[in-house]
């Protein structure tokens, strides 16, 4: 995303927040398409993603192509003012391909080959798959590249959703090439992987394998490199498709839909985002109240705060959680507008019409099984109207916050490897807890990758920043000494990029900056707590923290004989560096965050009575600043005193409601 390029829009149309869905007309008889168009118009739909899983229909066998139905469909959409985000259709290879070439099927760490019959059963590194996929991409680009109805290309679908980790021989070959490029010599690899341990030294790259099922813990750096390689292999596939598209259709922007949601962690999306024209994301709600906003903020961070495309979410229930509950009243609008608040300029669903057959027939859609005369479809029509009223927001960036959370896929992968002090540590949960605590305190928060420019932030929180190469350590040191307020936590600054421990005591990379030293970690058992002097309680982790610099201030201590300081802060240069040595959780962080914010000179933007119940998120563009007040509770909240013109909602903010105010 060197240069942000948004959807192509027909000249002369007013800017609007695009609204639509994955559209799978190939699952339906032709006559249904006309009804689809009628209902799309009723709902204000202006964009659909088409052909995501249509490979078998477009190419029924190796030598036969059938584009007639897609020609007709794209014309139909275009004639009715509905743009097509055209998928490259490579997500799910057809049975003829996998029967003829079983060598494209992924292999698990245990050596099991995944069968056809579901979807995404292809190896990211298979040359055979790549050749067939690129032929299809080329055909589509040549056929539709000049069609005015195509607003964007949609590469594949959720790259790596089911096939991120492939341990096949193809993967082994590609992994070796990736390692040779990274380390140059086998000595370089042996050093990085620490193969002097357990007699693992390699004589050549040919001896190296992916971390297949082994007798004990596979080499940690091998595991980490395999996670990095697997992410890069998906990105490599994306780039291969993109290169064909941009060669043949340079005017059509290219995207692919990310999965920044919950514990999905197979791709470094900060890196992948560099390869597309605009970021798209798919998000499905979990039971955690703030997970949606947090994911949307991460998405905005990897999109460098430019507008992004919400490619999929659900109107109501999904079909893949253990128990799938419908959304409650208000949630459909609130969920969508929360994404818009964090930078989405398109609001789309999986999917347009609920399937009558197949594995997703119990997944909600814009048009449910009950049809047009349903509460759900009326809500969809209502949302379409709301989005049309927010045209001024379009094109605006996320208004920078004063506080940022660093989010790093490499630390996520590294901190949760096996053979560690505890299995209970959860990287993303720690980051999300900081998010919730900061939002509760009434501030807006950005979530940014580690290469983001931090200069504008008064406070940067780096939770469990486990993997810290020297360059990142230096940047964070310069940030703090230059006037920023850095906060980091337990299990941060522990290793370098090779997963080698920074020696001399923990938290190695940050030890000098923080003025503390830890000799031994003391993780806690499940359910075990440790009390702190400020009334908070720690879980998961504790440490005997030695204060080794005179100017370290102890903000909280452990109420435990063998432990001392728990939370420290030290003035450094014109800024400060704080350390939190245990998991405080949202409740414990609530006792600490106001003090940290005050020390960093950050004043809450939300009026006191709204803190805790309301989240504020803001965007700014040519038409001014837009404040989104998101009711996180199930009770109405009064926004009396909020200044500005209400574009949506009112000062009586409904339970689960959102108000949009032009400030």
Show which residues are catalytic: 158, 312
Distance of closest approach, residue 318 Cβ to ligand GAL, in angstroms: 5
What is the length of the chain?
663
Supply the DSSP string of 147-198, one letter for each residue: -TTEEEEE-SSSTTTTTS---SHHHHHHHHHHHHHHHSSHHHHHHHHTTTGG
- Count the helices and strands in the chain (H runs, E runs): 17, 27
What kind and span of H or E run contains 568? strand 565-572
Backbone angles phi, psi at 258, to 5 degrees: -80, 170
Q: Are 387 and 16 in contact (CB under 8 A)?
A: yes
Half-sphere exposure of 646 (CA within 13 A, CB side): 13
Burial class (CB in 10 A: 0-12, 13-18, 19+), 251: exposed
Stretch that binds ligand GAL, among 63-71, 156-164, 171-179, 433-441 (CB under 6 A): 156-164
Query: Which residue in the set 19, 308, 349, 350 belongs to the binding site for ligand GAL (CB under 6 A)?
Result: 350
Q: Quick check: 161 binds ligand GAL (CB under 6 A)?
A: yes
Residue list 296-315, contact with ligand GAL (CB under 6 A) = 312
Structure tokens at 606: 């939300």
Query: Which residue in the set 243, 360, 497, 546 belongs to the binding site for ligand GAL (CB under 6 A)?
Result: 360
Q: Which is nearer to ligand GAL, 129 or 284 (CB)?
A: 284
Q: Which is nearer to ligand GAL, 260 or 578 (CB)?
A: 260
Q: Quick check: 335 binds ligand GAL (CB under 6 A)?
A: no
Q: Which is nearer to ligand GAL, 156 or 219 (CB)?
A: 156
Q: Which is nearer to ligand GAL, 312 or 446 (CB)?
A: 312
Number of residues that bind ligand GAL (CB under 6 A): 10
Supply the DSSP string of 85-97, one letter for each residue: EEE---SS--HHH
Cα 575 from Cα 287, distance rounded (Å): 37
Distance of closest approach, residue 157 Cβ to ligand GAL, in angstroms: 5
Cα 365 from Cα 558, distance rounded (Å): 51
Distance of closest approach, residue 50 Cβ to ligand GAL, in angstroms: 13
Q: Which of 160, 121, 179 is nearest to 266 (CA)?
A: 160
Alpha helices in 416-563 (DSSP H): 427-440, 470-481, 511-514
Q: Quick check: 26 binds ligand GAL (CB under 6 A)?
A: no
Distance of closest approach, residue 389 Cβ to ligand GAL, in angstroms: 28
Distance of closest approach, residue 456 Cβ to ligand GAL, in angstroms: 35
Stretch that binds ligand GAL, among 155-163, 214-222, 231-239, 272-280 (CB under 6 A): 155-163
Q: Which residues, 6+ apart, have CB-to-CB distance to 20 below 8 Å?
A: 40, 45, 46, 47, 48, 49, 82, 346, 348, 349, 352
Query: Which residue in the set 363, 473, 522, 611 belongs to the binding site for ligand GAL (CB under 6 A)?
Result: 363
Query: Which residue in the set 284, 308, 502, 506 belongs to the binding site for ligand GAL (CB under 6 A)?
Result: 284
What does DSSP say about strands 485-489 and 459-462: parallel, antiparallel, or unpaired?
parallel
Cα 39 from Cα 252, distance rounded (Å): 27
Site string for ligand GAL, 208-247 (x = CB under 6 A): ----------------------------------------
Structure tokens at 25: 């007309």
Q: Quick check: 158 binds ligand GAL (CB under 6 A)?
A: yes
Q: Which is nearer to ligand GAL, 160 or 515 (CB)?
A: 160
Nearest to ligand GAL by Cβ — which residue? 350
Q: Are 605 and 443 in contact (CB under 8 A)?
A: yes
Query: Which residue in the set 225, 232, 241, 282 belongs to the binding site for ligand GAL (CB under 6 A)?
Result: 282
Distance of closest approach, residue 52 Cβ to ligand GAL, in angstroms: 6
Query: Which residue in the set 18, 88, 157, 219 belongs to the binding site for ligand GAL (CB under 6 A)?
Result: 157
Stretch that binds ligand GAL, among 34-42, 154-162, 207-215, 567-575 (CB under 6 A): 154-162
Q: Which residues, 6+ apart, have CB-to-CB distance to 396 below 8 Å?
A: 307, 619, 620, 621, 622, 623, 626
Q: Quick check: 318 binds ligand GAL (CB under 6 A)?
A: yes
Taking the CA atoms of 282, 286, 289 and 294 in sequence, report the sign of the dihedral they define: negative
Stretch that binds ligand GAL, among 153-161, 224-232, 294-302, 471-479 (CB under 6 A): 153-161
Q: Quick check: 353 binds ligand GAL (CB under 6 A)?
A: no
Distance of closest approach, residue 284 Cβ to ligand GAL, in angstroms: 6
Distance of closest approach, residue 358 Cβ to ligand GAL, in angstroms: 10
Q: Which is nearer to ligand GAL, 284 or 490 (CB)?
A: 284
Q: Which is nearer to ligand GAL, 208 or 279 (CB)?
A: 279
Distance of closest approach, residue 22 Cβ to ligand GAL, in angstroms: 6
First and final C-alpha spacing in the chain: 30
Q: Which is nearer to ligand GAL, 65 or 362 (CB)?
A: 362
Supply the DSSP string of 477-507, one letter for each residue: HHHHHTT-EEEEETT-S-B-TTS-B-SSSBS
Task: For residue 137, say if its preceding peptide bond is cis, omega within 30 degrees of 0.
Answer: no
Stretch that binds ligand GAL, among 157-165, 193-201, 382-390, 607-615 (CB under 6 A): 157-165
Q: Which is nearer to ligand GAL, 336 or 489 (CB)?
A: 336
Chain residues binding ligand GAL by CB under 6 A are 157-158, 161, 282, 284, 312, 318, 350, 360, 363
């Amino acid at each position: 995303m060197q240069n942000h390029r948004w959807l192509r829009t027909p000249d002369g149309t007013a800017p609007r927040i695009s609204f639509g869905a994955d559209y799978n007309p190939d699952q339906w008889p032709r006559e249904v398409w006309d009804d689809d168009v009628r209902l799309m118009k009723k709902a204000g739909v202006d964009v659909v993603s088409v052909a995501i899983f249509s490979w078998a229909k477009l190419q029924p066998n190796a030598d036969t192509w059938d584009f007639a139905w897609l020609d007709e469909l794209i014309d139909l959409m275009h004639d009715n003012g509905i743009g097509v985000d055209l998928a490259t259709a490579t997500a799910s290879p057809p049975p003829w391909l996998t029967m003829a070439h079983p060598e494209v099927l992924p292999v698990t760490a245990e050596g099991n080959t995944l069968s056809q019959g579901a979807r995404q059963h292809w190896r990211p590194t298979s040359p055979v798959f790549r050749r067939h996929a690129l032929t299809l991409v080329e055909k589509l680009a040549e056929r539709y590249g000049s069609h005015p109805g195509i607003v964007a290309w949609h590469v594949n679908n959720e790259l790596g959703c089911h096939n991120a980790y492939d341990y096949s021989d193809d993967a082994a070959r590609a992994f070796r090439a990736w390692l040779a490029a990274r380390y140059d010599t086998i000595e370089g690899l042996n050093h990085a992987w620490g193969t002097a341990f357990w007699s693992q030294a390699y004589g050549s790259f040919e001896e190296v394998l992916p971390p297949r099922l082994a007798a004990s813990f596979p080499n940690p750096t091998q595991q980490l490199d395999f996670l990095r390689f697997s992410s890069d292999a998906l990105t490599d596939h994306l780039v291969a498709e993109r290169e064909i598209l941009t060669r043949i259709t340079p005017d059509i922007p290219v995207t692919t839909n990310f999965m920044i949601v919950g514990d999905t962690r197979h791709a470094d999306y900060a890196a992948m985002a560099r390869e597309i024209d605009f970021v798209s994301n798919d998000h499905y709600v979990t039971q955690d109240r703030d997970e949606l906003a947090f994911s949307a903020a991460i998405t905005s961070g990897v999109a460098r705060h430019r507008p992004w495309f919400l490619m999929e979410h659900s109107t109501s229930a999904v079909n893949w959680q253990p128990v799938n509950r419908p959304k409650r009243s208000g949630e459909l609008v609130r969920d969508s507008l929360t994404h818009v608040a964090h930078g989405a300029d398109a609001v789309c669903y999986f999917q347009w019409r609920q399937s009558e057959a197949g594995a997703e027939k119990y997944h909600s859609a814009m048009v449910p099984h009950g049809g047009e005369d349903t509460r759900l479809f009326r809500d969809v029509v209502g949302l379409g109207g709301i989005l049309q009223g927010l045209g001024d927001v379009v094109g605006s960036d996320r208004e920078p916050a004063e506080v940022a959370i660093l989010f790093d896929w490499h630390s996520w992968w590294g901190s949760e490897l096996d053979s560690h002090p505890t299995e209970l540590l959860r990287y993303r949960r720690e980051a999300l807890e900081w998010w919730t605590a900061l939002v509760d305190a009434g501030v807006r928060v950005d979530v940014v990758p580690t290469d983001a420019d931090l200069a504008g932030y008064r406070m940067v929180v780096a939770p469990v920043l486990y993997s810290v190469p020297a360059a990142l350590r230096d940047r964070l040191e310069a940030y703090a000494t230059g006037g920023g307020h850095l906060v980091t936590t337990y299990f941060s600054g522990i290793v370098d990029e090779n997963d080698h421990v920074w020696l001399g005591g923990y938290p190695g990379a940050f030890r000098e900056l923080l003025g503390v030293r830890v000799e031994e970690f003391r993780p806690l058992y499940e359910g075990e707590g440790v009390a702190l002097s400020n009334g908070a309680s720690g879980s998961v982790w504790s440490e005997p923290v030695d204060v080794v610099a005179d100017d370290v201030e102890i903000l909280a201590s452990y109420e435990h004989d063998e432990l001392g300081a728990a939370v420290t802060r030290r003035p450094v240069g014109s800024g400060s560096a704080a350390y939190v040595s245990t998991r405080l959780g949202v409740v414990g962080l609530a006792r600490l965050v106001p003090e940290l914010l005050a020390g960093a000179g950050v004043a809450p933007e939300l009026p006191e009575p709204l803190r805790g119940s309301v989240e504020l998120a803001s965007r700014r563009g040519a038409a001014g600043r837009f404040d989104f007040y998101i009711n996180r509770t199930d009770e109405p909240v009064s926004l009396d005193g909020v200044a500005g013109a209400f574009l949506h909602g009112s000062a009586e903010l409904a339970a689960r409601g959102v108000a949009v105010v032009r400030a």
